[in-house]
């Protein structure tokens, strides 16, 4: 194999020699570290599919953490390694190291996490060719042998595939997610709205969501408008349902099963949500989506990192970082449906 880059990537002299002496069919063990929640896990599917194609004889192990297991793409890997996550603070550092070593001998490690935990797991396996995409230059020499540069202005899945392009593999474009699962059967077309996200401060104001749904229920009377509740108690949709009381085509849904959630998304005509895993499900299922992004002093959503430039997907943001207006989000919905 050869490393194909001039700028935009880095490799140690040791890695260049080792890669040049290796053929894809000789690679027997590959580990992919992805310590991430549902949304980012879903965006990993095209990478895992391409790893399987590029290294046909490799046993692929996916390393995840105990606090993020939902949506693990077990259908695309041979085995799953589970490291202790933030939910296991009772575990000693010695036990964490022991668990990290259970990953076993690897020919190549792809670190798709770039977290403190993934860093030391990489350090435990110096015999492997370690590939990553850290933000900081210092990290690349400390923890990896080969890196691609990471940008918040590029779609996350594309950044992951860069790690394979670096080895000279031509990956499919647009990426293929092949999300498994059934499609919800419905008598009428429907739109799914997901109003929450990982933390309250990242949610588009509830009153704007309520008004958006009210307007859409009038504009698209032949559609059902489903408001999906999150799994936490604070993710209430009562305000939205109260604002739309009496509207027969507006309904709240409380679905806890991932399989049922996937079926719901796959059957939708459109998904409208904040920056969250529900929207990533829509992207992976090729369902049109509208993502609402904004910023504050405490956080900044990353619209371009989670916006594929292909497919029927739109992002709505205000150039000053303010929460978008109802009219702006409504316009994006109209462009996709009309």
| pLDDT at 297 exceeding the cut of 80 | no
Overall domain count for the chain: 2
Torsion angles phi and psi, residue 256, rounded to 5: -100, -25
Torsion angles phi and psi, residue 131, rounded to 5: -115, 130
Q: What is the mean pLDDT of residues 212-223?
A: 97
pLDDT score for 82: 96
Per DSSP, 181 falls in state -
Per DSSP, 140 falls in state H
Among candidate residues 150, 165, 180, the one where a domain is terminated: 165
Q: How far apart are CA 162 and CA 160, in angstroms?
A: 5
| pLDDT at 1 exceeding the cut of 90 | yes
pLDDT score for 298: 78
| Tokens found for residue 116 | 């403190």
Q: What is the mean pLDDT of residues 16-34?
A: 96
Is residue 211 domain-shared with residue 326, that is, in the same domain? yes
In a domain, 64, yes or no: yes
| pLDDT at 165 exceeding the cut of 90 | yes
DSSP secondary structure letters along 234-289 = T---HHHHHHTTT-TTEEEE----HHHHHHHHHT-SEEEESSSHHHHHHHHTT--E
Is residue 46 domain-shared with residue 123, that is, in the same domain? yes
Considering the chain, what percentage of its residues have pLDDT values greater than 90?
Answer: 89
Is residue 280 domain-shared with residue 223, that is, in the same domain? yes
CATH code for the domain in which residue 224 is found: 3.40.50.2000
| Tokens found for residue 242 | 């109260």
Chain centroid to Cα 80, Å, comes to 18
Mean pLDDT of the chain: 95
Is residue 136 domain-shared with residue 23, that is, in the same domain? yes
Q: How far apart are CA 161 and CA 48, in angstroms?
A: 9
Q: How far apart are CA 254 and CA 36, in angstroms?
A: 24
Could you count the other beta carbons within 10 Å of the beta carbon of residue 305?
17
Is residue 332 domain-shared with residue 262, that is, in the same domain? yes
Q: Are 29 and 139 in contact (CB under 8 A)?
A: no
Which range of residues forms the domain containing residue 114?
Answer: 9-165
pLDDT score for 85: 93
Q: Which helix (H) or strand (E) holds 271?
A: strand 270-273
């Amino acid at each position: 194999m050869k490393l194909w880059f001039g700028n935009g990537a880095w490799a140690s002299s040791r890695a260049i020699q080792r890669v040049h002496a290796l053929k894809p069919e000789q690679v027997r063990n590959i580990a992919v570290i992805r310590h991430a929640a549902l949304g980012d896990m879903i965006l990993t599917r095209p990478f895992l599919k391409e790893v399987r194609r590029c290294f046909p004889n490799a046993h692929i192990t996916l390393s995840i953490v105990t606090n993020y297991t939902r949506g693990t793409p077990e259908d695309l890997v041979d085995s799953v390694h589970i490291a202790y996550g933030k939910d296991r603070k009772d575990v000693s550092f010695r036990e964490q190291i022991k668990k990290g070593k259970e990953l076993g001998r690897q020919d190549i490690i792809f670190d798709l996490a770039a977290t403190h935990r993934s860093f030391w797991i990489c350090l435990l396996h110096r015999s492997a060719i370690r590939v990553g995409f850290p933000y900081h230059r210092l990290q690349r020499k400390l923890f990896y042998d080969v890196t691609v540069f990471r940008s918040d202005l590029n779609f996350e899945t594309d950044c992951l595939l860069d790690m394979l392009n670096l080895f000279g593999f031509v990956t499919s474009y647009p990426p293929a997610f092949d999300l498994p699962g059934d499609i919800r059967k419905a008598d009428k077309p429907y739109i799914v709205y997901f109003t929450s996200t990982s933390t309250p401060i990242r949610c588009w104001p509830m009153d704007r969501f309520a008004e958006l749904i009210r307007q859409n229920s009038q504009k698209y009377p032949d559609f059902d408008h489903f408001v999906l509740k999150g799994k936490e108690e604070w993710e209430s949709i009562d305000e939205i349902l109260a604002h739309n009381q009496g509207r027969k085509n507006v309904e709240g849904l409380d679905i806890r099963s991932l399989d049922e959630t996937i079926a719901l998304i796959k059957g939708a005509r459109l998904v409208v949500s904040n920056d969250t895993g529900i929207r990533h499900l829509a992207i992976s299922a090729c369902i049109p989506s509208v993502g609402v992004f904004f910023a504050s002093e405490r956080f900044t959503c990353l619209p371009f990192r989670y916006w594929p430039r292909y497919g029927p997907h739109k992002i709505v943001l205000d150039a000053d970082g303010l929460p978008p207006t109802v009219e702006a989000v409504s316009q994006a919905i109209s462009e996709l449906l009309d």
